């Protein structure tokens, strides 16, 4: 049921309900693993449509989700022993929140999918339970007007659904997004995959042209940005991602700066200071830039805030990186020629 990508479901209006369970199989886990590592990024899809979880009756609740396997599986696995219907929207393999922001998890698709599955004949009530994070794309009052179904926003996390179903009220905790260490850790693989090739190419080039210390410095700066930064995010000082990144990047660059300064006591002082400066200026902006790019992976950065931050700090990154690079090239040439 995992890697299905077949055609849009627009056949004759007849209730067509597929069975599903709340069990996560080994195959599901393998699929989740591949998704986390960015393998076949948009291919982790569930067939859109209506699913029966357990043995639902006409009174059973209807849950709505995206056709991304991680979203669908999070929902069904949170509902063991609960009978209900799952209405899967076609979000082209994108999770609920991103798809809602993009509009694919939206009013139009929801109304269309309700009609295509003839939901009003399957259930005797007129209530859809949506994940709260679907709200940026769905206007509840419009869905009501166009389909007759009421939209009820459940909790942010599917795991809170059983508790929610008991009281039909989400606590303030259930309504707020979190960004726990675990949430941040699961993002690291895909961050790593994204930088892998550029990092390897840069490392090889640096190793051949400049030397092992520069290679190690570059790799450490990149890893600080994509591995350490997500882990340390809440504890790094300052508010903006770029400044957090510069601070972490400076800490990561410090050993290389000191090594460059201290390792060859015989050479001229200006040369040692120059090399040290090359590391101190060239490496932190690499980490800072990757840190800035992590903004999109977090659940609390705003468009206007990120834009402001980009205008303020990308020039600083460009200048420091540029000066560091020029120094490195100059001193490498000097070493080769002199």
Q: Which residues bind another protein (CB under 8 A)?
A: 36, 41-42, 92-95, 97-98, 100-104, 106, 108-109, 132-133, 135-141, 153, 156, 170, 172, 175-177, 186-187, 190-191, 194-195, 241, 292-307, 309-310
Question: C-beta of 42: minimal distance to another protein in Å?
Answer: 3
Between 90 and 328, whose beta carbon lies closer to another protein? 90
Between 92 and 331, whose beta carbon lies closer to another protein? 92
Between 15 and 299, whose beta carbon lies closer to another protein? 299
Question: C-beta of 102: minimal distance to another protein in Å?
Answer: 6
Between 64 and 170, whose beta carbon lies closer to another protein? 170
Between 17 and 192, whose beta carbon lies closer to another protein? 192
Residues in a beta bridge with 259: none
C-alpha neighbours within 13 Å on the C-beta side of residue 124? 4
**Alpha helix segments (H runs only) across the chain:** 26-36, 69-77, 96-102, 107-116, 119-122, 140-147, 161-167, 172-175, 181-185, 188-209, 212-223, 229-232, 241-262, 269-282, 284-293, 303-337
Question: C-beta of 82: minimal distance to another protein in Å?
Answer: 22
Residues in a beta bridge with 202: none
Residues in a beta bridge with 85: 52, 62
User: Pairing relation of β-strands 49-53 and 84-89?
Assistant: antiparallel
DSSP string covering 43-89: --B---EEEEESS--TTS-EEEEESBHHHHHHHHHT-TT--EEEEEE
Between 77 and 108, whose beta carbon lies closer to another protein? 108
User: What is the spatial distance between Cα 287 and Cα 189, in angstroms, rounded to a whole number?
Assistant: 17
Question: C-beta of 71: minimal distance to another protein in Å?
Answer: 11
């Amino acid at each position: 049921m995992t890697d299905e990508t077949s055609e849009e479901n627009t056949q004759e209006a007849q209730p067509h309900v597929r069975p599903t369970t709340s069990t996560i199989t080994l195959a599901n886990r393998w699929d989740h693993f591949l998704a986390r590592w960015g393998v076949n990024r948009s291919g982790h899809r569930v067939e859109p449509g209506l699913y029966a979880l357990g043995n639902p009756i006409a009174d059973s609740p209807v849950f709505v989700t995206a056709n991304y396997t991680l979203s669908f599986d999070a929902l069904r696995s949170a509902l063991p022993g609960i009978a209900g219907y799952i209405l899967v929207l076609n979000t082209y393999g994108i999770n609920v929140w991103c798809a809602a922001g993009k509009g694919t998890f939206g009013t139009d698709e929801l109304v269309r999918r309700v009609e295509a599955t003839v939901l009003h004949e399957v259930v005797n009530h007129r209530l859809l339970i949506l994940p709260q994070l679907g709200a940026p794309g769905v206007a509840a009052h419009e869905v009501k007007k166009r389909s007759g179904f009421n939209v009820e926003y459940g909790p942010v996390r599917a795991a809170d659904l059983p508790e929610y179903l008991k009281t039909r009220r989400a606590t303030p905790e259930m309504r707020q997004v979190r960004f726990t260490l675990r949430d941040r850790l699961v993002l690291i693989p895909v961050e790593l995959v994204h930088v892998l090739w550029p990092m390897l190419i840069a490392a090889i080039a640096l190793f051949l042209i400049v030397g092992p210390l520069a290679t190690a410095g570059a790799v450490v700066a990149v890893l600080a940005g994509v591995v350490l930064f997500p882990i340390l995010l809440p504890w790094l000082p300052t508010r903006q991602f770029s400044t957090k990144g510069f601070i972490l990047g400076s800490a990561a660059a410090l050993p290389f700066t000191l090594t460059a300064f201290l390792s060859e006591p015989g050479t001229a002082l200006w040369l040692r200071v120059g090399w040290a400066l090359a590391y101190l200026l060239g490496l932190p902006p690499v980490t800072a830039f990757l840190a800035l790019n992590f903004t999109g992976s977090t659940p609390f950065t705003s468009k206007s805030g990120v834009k402001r931050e980009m205008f303020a700090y990308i020039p600083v990154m460009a200048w420091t990186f540029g000066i560091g690079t020029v120094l490195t090239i100059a001193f490498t040439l000097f070493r080769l020629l002199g």
